[in-house]
Chains A and B, each alone.
Chain A
Amino acid sequence: MRFRSFGLIVAALATASTFLVLPAAATPPTPFVKDFDMGAISGGQREESIAVDPSNPDHVAAGANERGIGSTQTWYISTDGGRTFTNGILPNGTLTVPGTTSTNMSDPSLDFGSNGEIYYSALMHGGTGEPCSLFVSETANDGTTWTDPANGIVAAGTASPTVCQDKEMIAVDRGNNDNVYVAWTPGGGANDQLVVFSRDLNGVSDGFSFSGQTVVSTLGAGLNAGCLNQGADFAIAGSTIYLAWTSFCSGFSDNDPGTVYVSRSTNQGGSWSAPVAAATLDNVDFTAAGYRSRSFPSISADSATGRVFVVYGDYAGSGTDADVMVVSSTNGTSWTSPIRVNQDSGTTNQWMPWIDVGNNRIHVVFYSDNGGSINAHVAYGAVSASPSFTDITVSSASTPTSSGFLGDYNGAFVGSDDVLHPAWADARTGVSGTDAFTARVDFSPPQTVTATPASQTHVVADTATVTAHVTGLNGENEHFIPVSFTVTGVGSPTPASASGQTGAAGTMAFSFTNTTSGTNTVHVWADLDENGTEDAGETVDVTVTWQPGPPASLTLTPATDTNTVDDTHTVTADVRDQYGNAVAPVTVRFTVGGANGVLGLPTSGSATTSGGLASFSYVGTMPGNDTITAFADYDGNGSRNANPAAHEPQGTAAKIWNLPASTTGAFNGGTKILRPTGFATFGLSFTGLPVLGGNLDYTDHSTATPRHVVSVTVDAYVQTGTTAKIFGTATIDGLGSFVYRLDLVDNGEPGTLDTFRLRLSDGYDTGVRTLAKGNLQAH
């Protein structure tokens, strides 16, 4: 007999602290651990089995004893890699157990079929001393419906004699038509306390029809040689099925001795080899502490090498504490010496191990108890005959040792995505009773987020799309990683943010638009460690440049203005797209109509926008009203297309040219200037202030532009030295009223150095002409 050590050991606490999973500050460490409550359900859920769909690592199923609702079974199914689960009560169907009306259920065990079906075995049983029936139920729709347990009876309990079919495990042989294998220990009857086996060929596809029991624990003499053979578990390696269990021949209380046996079948369970002792142990049973346990083995095979590993609880480690041990074999007959799996200092208890081998790695989940609290641990190491293990805590909070029963076994399954899914019962603070917990122990965690394109350019109101891509340590696409996009910068990006999860390709796309030209920054955050906090290494920024759209409006400023003739007037065109953005470089063409437009100088011009603006300046020489018109020559062809779809908007501005203030002075003279097709003669005499007066008599004798101009009024007289500008109205050929402007320069003698220019509001302009004959005289 051995005293167990439940004492609080300070050294153990110090050691345990090194196992704590620290919050990730940057990209997740390897392995990255995050635990999950599979269902916050009232009452207690414990004794978990868990499995991962071999063809879809995101498809995870688990089961647990449920106590407090109907004392049956709770199933849990996840389709997002074990992050969230739906759950429900495993239906009783029409199953009843002889000799009892109870529908209590215990001992869940799950495995997947080849097409994602979930096979679930359990017991239905009564109270103490009453029969138990063992059944298999199956769901092909993730728990929406289950086959009737009454149609999947593996072994029915009996009331006389009382037989309880107990403590089974299930395996689905996906390499052999989904054969369903079940091994268990009847209590009572012909096979009392022996490990027996039954199979259903071809799985649920042709209905369940389980074979009669085959005794596998063929040990010693007599019915069961006085031994309890219990805790059967399967491993399948190619065409070989392994079955392991523990045989207790001297009681099964704490520290009672036991032997782990392994038997093999190479014909799909048709026959079994003689059991081989793989290890001996001292039973680890904490019933007195309120949470019963038993040194049942767990077995798993490495598919690559065929090496099969068995773990079990034992007092074989240093000191008096319970430890988890492992042995292995390549043939099932010769076994290695035990190696301790847990890596504590030897003073804390580790028990209830479960193993799964995959991806060239051994994974073992177990409880670790420092005397005051219990945590779930995972130890892992490379496949080897003498593996070395790294021991980590996977429960983010502890379970008090006073929590009560935690089940007789835990679960673990590693998926093809290199994520281990351990399962255990947990009663941490905030959990009512015990809940079924799991974790994602990711050996290839998300490491990198990229966003593409790094930069892109669009016309406003188009759609920009940014795609985030999350990859894992081994470059694989990471599904279900939370991603958010936040847009900053110009305008009102719509939408300005979005969040979601990466898809199966590891990507999430985000599209938005903006009607404001300029640059947006898209901040992409992939929450690689899924802790809800933005950490270094989890973000990337990309830019989106929005270019203005085509011209939609053109506004001239000032819209109206008044100047004195001979001043310079500048008008500015402001070209915008339909959203008000200043249009990128485009030629604006200006034309002037009205008083000055008729003279042809200047009548047009063009400029290229900069920041949406283009300016045009001209000097008005004639008094009166001008209209300035401008358009955006979007197609650059020099003429305006008024169709709005042509994007050549037009704007106008009004300009009033006033007469200059008059001065004193006088000018007279006349005779002859040359014209392109002849000559003109004139005579003039004007006086300035104080009283404006005078006249002009001008006759163009040319053949092209013949006319006779006679002034009627003198409206302004400006003389500066020997130069004069004279404005007024005149008739042409005795008709009408036309504005005239005279520009006279007296350059001294002889008079042929003097210049003469006459402009009329009908567009007639002599240009600056030296006198061909005659003289002009300033006074």
Chain B
Amino acid sequence: MTVRRISVAAAAVALVALTGMGKTSVAPRIVAVELQPEDPSPGGEFIVVTNPGTAALDLGCWRVASSTGMLVVAPPLRLAPGAVTLLSARTSWLRQTDRVRLFDTKRRLRVATPTLTDPAADDRVWLREADGSWHLARKSFGKGVITGHLVTRASSRC
């Protein structure tokens, strides 16, 4: 399956569906944050985001902020209800102590993590529980995780 190759038109339709009626869609949820991976290889820092709503959600062109600045979600990144995406960048973009904020295309803050500290360069990540609490552990997100890219510049499609 090549979700990545979804057409620009389809993405635009989806974006209108989500925001065009002036309603705010259900906010995505950041469920995992890897602040300090095992080694410094690019791509080791990531967040995992889910769509808890009942409607599809396109995170393309959303902004992700950390202590190092703002990155853009490369479009399109369409999440069906319940879908999970792993967002990473090609350069280091998180710090050992950091918090992540997710802004929609209207630059509205939609979700944020608390400030978290990853004490060791290992494979444990910060995980969000259903009650909103966070703890450090290993986690497999199973099959069907959609990979998403964080880039420094918004594409012309944003």
Residues of A in contact with B (beta carbons under 8 Å apart): 1-7, 44, 46-47, 65, 67-68, 71, 104, 106-107, 123, 125, 127-130, 132, 162, 164, 166-167, 187-188, 193, 228, 230, 251-256, 285, 287-292, 294, 320, 401-405, 407-408
Number of B positions contacting A (CB below 8 A):
47
Q: Residue on A with the closest CB to B87? A: A253
For this complex, 29 residue pairs linking A to B, each with C-beta atoms less than 8 Å apart, are A1-B4, A1-B146, A1-B147, A2-B1, A4-B143, A5-B143, A65-B38, A71-B120, A106-B38, A125-B121, A127-B96, A127-B118, A128-B95, A188-B91, A251-B147, A251-B149, A252-B90, A253-B43, A253-B147, A254-B147, A255-B147, A288-B48, A290-B139, A290-B140, A292-B44, A402-B138, A402-B140, A404-B124, A405-B122
Contact A3 B1 (CB under 8 A): yes
Contact B3 A1 (CB under 8 A): yes
Q: Which residues of B contact A3 (CB under 8 A)?
A: 1, 3, 143-144, 146
Q: Which residues of B contact A125 (CB under 8 A)?
A: 39-40, 121
Distance to closest chain B CB from A46 (angstroms): 8
Does chain A have a CB within 8 A of B104?
no
- Give how many A-B residue pairs fall within 8 Å (CB-CB): 156
Contact A4 B92 (CB under 8 A): no
Q: Which of A47, A164, A228 interacts with B90 by CB under 8 Å? A: A228
Contact A128 B37 (CB under 8 A): yes
Q: Residue on B with the closest CB to A402? A: B140
Please list the 5 inter-chain residue pairs (A to B) with the smallest Cβ-Cβ separation, ordered nearest first: A1-B4, A405-B123, A288-B145, A106-B39, A253-B147
Q: Which of A71, A251, A403 gathers the greatest number of chain B CB atoms within 10 Å?
A: A251
Q: What is the bound-complex CA distance between A106 and B123, given in angstroms?
A: 13
Q: Check A123/B39 contact, CB under 8 A, given A67-B122, A228-B90.
A: yes
Q: Which residues of A contact B2 (CB under 8 A)?
A: 1-2
Q: Which residues of A contact B149 (CB under 8 A)?
A: 251, 253
Q: Which residues of B contact A294 (CB under 8 A)?
A: 41, 43
Q: Which residues of A contact B120 (CB under 8 A)?
A: 67, 71
Q: Which residues of A contact B43 (CB under 8 A)?
A: 252-253, 285, 287, 292, 294
Distance to closest chain B CB from A91 (angstroms): 19
Does chain A have a CB within 8 A of B42?
yes
Does chain A have a CB within 8 A of B115?
no
Distance to closest chain B CB from A649 (angstroms): 82
Contact B39 A253 (CB under 8 A): no
Distance to closest chain B CB from A208 (angstroms): 23
Q: Residue on A with the closest CB to B74? A: A251
Does chain A have a CB within 8 A of B61?
no
Does chain A have a CB within 8 A of B88?
yes
Residues of B in contact with A (beta carbons under 8 Å apart): 1-5, 35-46, 48, 68, 74, 84, 86, 88, 90-92, 94-96, 118, 120-124, 138-149
Q: Residue on A with the closest CB to B121? A: A104
Q: What is the bound-complex CA distance between A79 and B18, given in angstroms?
A: 65
Q: What is the bound-complex CA distance between A405 and B92, given in angstroms?
A: 19
Contact A256 B147 (CB under 8 A): yes
Q: Which residues of A contact B3 (CB under 8 A)?
A: 1, 3
Q: Which of B1, B46, B94, B138 interacts with A287 by CB under 8 Å? A: B46
Distance to closest chain A CB from B75 (angstroms): 12
Contact B41 A405 (CB under 8 A): no
Q: Which residues of A contact B1 (CB under 8 A)?
A: 1-3, 320
Q: Which residues of A contact B40 (CB under 8 A)?
A: 106, 123, 125, 128, 130, 132, 164, 166, 187
Q: Which residues of B contact A228 (CB under 8 A)?
A: 42, 90
Q: Which residues of B contact A67 (CB under 8 A)?
A: 38, 120-123
Distance to closest chain A CB from B3 (angstroms): 4
Q: Which residues of B contact A130 (CB under 8 A)?
A: 40
Q: Which residues of A contact B5 (CB under 8 A)?
A: 1
Distance to closest chain A CB from B113 (angstroms): 15
Distance to closest chain B CB from A241 (angstroms): 24
Contact A187 B42 (CB under 8 A): yes
Known interface pairs A107-B39, A285-B43, A288-B140; 4 further A-B residue pairs with C-beta atoms within 8 A, sorted by A's residue number: A3-B146, A230-B42, A253-B88, A408-B39
Q: Which of B92, B122, B144 interacts with A44 by CB under 8 Å? A: B122
Q: Which residues of A contact B143 (CB under 8 A)?
A: 3-7, 289
Contact A289 B141 (CB under 8 A): yes
Contact A251 B41 (CB under 8 A): no
Q: Residue on B with the closest CB to A131? A: B40
Distance to closest chain A CB from B90 (angstroms): 6
Contact A288 B37 (CB under 8 A): no
Contact A289 B142 (CB under 8 A): yes
Q: Which of A252, A254, A290 interacts with B123 by CB under 8 Å? A: A290
Contact B36 A288 (CB under 8 A): no
Distance to closest chain B CB from A433 (angstroms): 9
Q: What is the bound-complex CA distance between A4 and B74, given in angstroms?
A: 20
Q: Which of A4, A71, A401 interacts with B122 by CB under 8 Å? A: A71
Q: Residue on B with the closest CB to A250? A: B149
Q: Which residues of B contact A123 (CB under 8 A)?
A: 39-40
Distance to closest chain B CB from A392 (angstroms): 27
Distance to closest chain B CB from A282 (angstroms): 10
Q: Which residues of A contact B48 (CB under 8 A)?
A: 288
Contact B88 A287 (CB under 8 A): yes
Q: Which residues of A contact B35 (CB under 8 A)?
A: 128
Q: What is the bound-complex CA distance between A562 and B91, given in angstroms?
A: 116
Q: What is the bound-complex CA distance between A130 and B2, given in angstroms?
A: 35
Contact B140 A401 (CB under 8 A): yes
Distance to closest chain A CB from B123 (angstroms): 3
Q: Which of B90, B95, B145 interacts with A129 by CB under 8 Å? A: B95
Contact A288 B122 (CB under 8 A): no
Contact A166 B41 (CB under 8 A): yes
Q: What is the bound-complex CA distance between A166 and B41, given in angstroms?
A: 7
Q: Which of A5, A71, A123, A404 gathers the greatest number of chain B CB atoms within 10 Å?
A: A404
Contact A408 B41 (CB under 8 A): yes
Q: Residue on A with the closest CB to B138? A: A404
Q: Which residues of B contact A288 (CB under 8 A)?
A: 48, 84, 86, 140-142, 145, 147
Distance to closest chain B CB from A368 (angstroms): 16
Q: What is the bound-complex CA distance between A167 and B38, given in angstroms?
A: 12
Distance to closest chain B CB from A97 (angstroms): 11
